[in-house]
Amino acid sequence: MKAKYIVVEGLEGAGKTSAIDILSQTLSRLGVNQLKCVREPGGTPLAESIRQLVKHHQDPTDPMTEMSECLLMYAARSQLVNNVIRPQLAEGIWVIGDRHDLSSRAYQGGGRQLSGMVDNISTLVLGDFKPDLTVYLDIEPSVGLQRAQARGQLDRIEQESLAFFERTRDRYVTLVEADPQAVFIDANQPLKEVQQQVIKVVEQQFEQWQC
């Protein structure tokens, strides 16, 4: 079977980290023994520097514009896709991504209301490259933000208004509904149940890939 690219998406605190753990364990049980996990923004030295900027840049004399934020997300994605993800897949190594293009479409497209710009840049940067499967963990923004808050200080994006995260979630849901390779999981449930659903989705999808 050709190596696959699987992405986990969702708002802050949706439970992506634990979903990725269970996803890796499930794939390994199913016989996938060459697997790499990456995160966005990040995953290469240059993309990790961009991650630091987009999450923590705070300068009232030179605030990050919405357009710069969007361009930086795609600069980081271009580094990761071309220098890591494509080469790994070509070598037969499966890749699990903590976020990908759907994040830009939801946060910058929905949250920042830059959807026209995001569509154009996405086409330029990615062409027809897309994940084989996207697992979207849907969570009430207020619940996700409470979980993020419990972890410590909020970063630049986490300090956005609830309305921003509501718009982001709405866009996520619309995009996931329109994508036949994306699966919706209710992440407001207890962790154990979310994990069971992730396992089920991966097992079913794996079976289809084998056909």
Residues that bind ligand T5A (CB under 6 A): 10, 12-18, 39-41, 55, 73, 99, 103-104, 107-108, 147-148, 157-158, 187, 190-191, 194
Cβ within 8 Å of residue 54, ≥6 positions away? 41, 64, 69, 72, 73, 76, 156, 157
Taking the complex as a whole, the smallest distance from the CB of residue 29 to ligand T5A amounts, in Å, to 21
Taking the complex as a whole, the smallest distance from the CB of residue 21 to ligand T5A amounts, in Å, to 9
Q: Is 90 exposed, middle or buried (0-12, 13-18, 19+ CB in 10 A)?
A: exposed
Pick between residue 94 and residue 107 the one whose CB is nearest to ligand T5A.
107
Phi-psi region of 138 (alpha: psi -120 to 50; beta: other; left: phi over 0): beta
In the bound state, the residue with its beta carbon closest to ligand T5A is 15
Say if CB 6 and CB 94 are below 8 A apart: yes
Pick between residue 127 and residue 152 the one whose CB is nearest to ligand T5A.
152
Q: Is 115 exposed, middle or buried (0-12, 13-18, 19+ CB in 10 A)?
A: middle
Pick between residue 8 and residue 27 the one whose CB is nearest to ligand T5A.
8
Taking the complex as a whole, the smallest distance from the CB of residue 38 to ligand T5A amounts, in Å, to 11
Amino acid identity of residue 94, one-letter, is: W
Taking the complex as a whole, the smallest distance from the CB of residue 209 to ligand T5A amounts, in Å, to 25
What is the CA angle 35-89-25, rounded to 5? Answer: 20
Q: CA neighbours within 13 Å on the CB side: how many for 40?
A: 28
Pick between residue 15 and residue 88 the one whose CB is nearest to ligand T5A.
15
Pick between residue 4 and residue 100 the one whose CB is nearest to ligand T5A.
100
Taking the complex as a whole, the smallest distance from the CB of residue 40 to ligand T5A amounts, in Å, to 4
Pick between residue 31 and residue 45 the one whose CB is nearest to ligand T5A.
45
Order across the sheet with 5-10: list the strands. 35-39, 94-98, 5-10, 133-138, 182-186
Taking the complex as a whole, the smallest distance from the CB of residue 1 to ligand T5A amounts, in Å, to 27
